[in-house]
Every structure is written in structure tokens, then in C-alpha cells.
A and B are shown apart, each in its own frame.
Chain A
Amino acid sequence: AQTVTQSQPEMSVQEAETVTLSCTYDTSESDYYLFWYKQPPSRQMILVIRQEAYKQQNATENRFSVNFQKAAKSFSLKISDSQLGDAAMYFCAYRSAFVSSGSEKLVFGKGMKLTVNP
């Protein structure tokens, strides 16, 4: 079974600085998707960024970018120019790309709380 590990339960960053959130995963599959979701105090889960494993190019979305290291099974999220609104829980998630029973399920890490200091 696939697992996702977020080893840092909490991090803090100064406003306007850059911060990197780490995530590692374990899988024997060759094709899959990786996601970062953000959960602000409202508790709404919001998709931040998505990476397809067969694409070597790292995904970017405005101030958010990932460092995807397939061989190392590492998927870190970099937030540039941090803003107060970035303060939230961040969850890393994995989903298989193979169409079979259960492949549509997301497997989540336990999350990491990011604090942004003014």
C-alpha cells in the first residue's frame, strides 16, 4: 500500500520570505499523481498544485512550485513571497494513475501547520 509522510508537523516563515514544505511517499507504481492541498482555518480543502509522475518538469502555480524527485520519492512544495493568507495546514497526497478498483483514492499525509509571521 502507498504511504505519504510529512515529517515536519509545524513550520513558520516571515512574510515575504520563501519556505519549503517536505513530503516523501512510498509506492511501487511507476505512474501516479501527487498533490498539495491547503486547509486554512475555515477548514475548506483547497488544491494548491498537482504533479503528474510521468512529467519530468516541476509544476508551478504562481508563487507555488514543487521539487519532484521521482527516484528519491520526494515531493516538496516551495512557497515564494509568503503572505499572511498562506497560513494553513498543508497536506501532501498521492493517487495512483492506474485504473483499477481503489486507484481513485487519495492517500494523504498527516499534514503540516504553516505559520506566517508579519
Chain B
Amino acid sequence: DGGITQSPKYLFRKEGQNVTLSCEQNLNHDAMYWYRQDPGQGLRLIYYSQIVNDFQKGDIAEGYSVSREKKESFPLTVTSAQKNPTAFYLCASSTFGGVEYFGPGTRLTVT
């Protein structure tokens, strides 16, 4: 089964804790992306990576960190510095210059 997996589907954390969201793809895509979606908003880009061991900040990178140690994996850490972490997080991947395909998303709730 080819595709993008995100786990878990729902995640609950206490304020002040760091949390890592998983994103894995077996499509052999070079580029991977993390987006945040809030109610009534479009998707906003957090970080993206075009190649292993390299990544760039998107429009709202503050309070987040990523790594890209393997082509298949692009985990996102939501740190305690992120002021409003409760949101829906979407991971995507694409070939270089190709269409972006999305994972099913993770709903993070921080209380």
C-alpha cells in the first residue's frame, strides 16, 4: 500500500510538554511538508524539506522543529514555545516539482 501515514490520529498533551508528530511516506518522494490548519483558515506551511538532512522554515515555523534523517520520514516536534499548539496538522509529500499528496492528519489538543 503506497501512501503517507501520520500517527497518531488524535494526540492529547499537557501544556509545557513537547510532542512529536510522525509522518512517513513510501512513495519515494523527495520533498516533504508540514502544514497547520485552524478553523476557518487555509493551510499554513510550518516546515518543508526537499532533500534528506536539509529543511527550510515555512511561514509559521516558530515553536516547531523538524528533522529529515531518512527520505521516508519527516517528524514534527511541537515545542512548549509554541503559544497555540492546538490544531490539525497535515503532512504532505511530492516529487520535485510534482503534485503534493497529503496524509490523513493528526489532531493535537493541548490543555
Contact = CB atoms under 8 A, between A and B. Distances in A.
Q: Chain A interface: which size bin?
A: 20 to 34
Interface stretch (A14-22, A54-62, A99-107): A99-107
B99 A50 contact: yes
Interface stretch (A37-45, A64-72, A75-83): A37-45
B41 A110 contact: yes
B85 interface: no
Contacts of B97: 97, 99, 104
A31 B103 CA distance: 28
Interface of A: 4, 9, 35, 37, 42-47, 50, 91, 97, 99, 101-102, 104-106, 108-111
Interface of B: 31, 33, 40-45, 48, 50, 56, 58, 88, 90, 92, 94, 96-97, 99-105
Q: Closest 5 CB pairs between A and B?
A: A108-B42, A45-B102, A110-B42, A108-B43, A43-B105
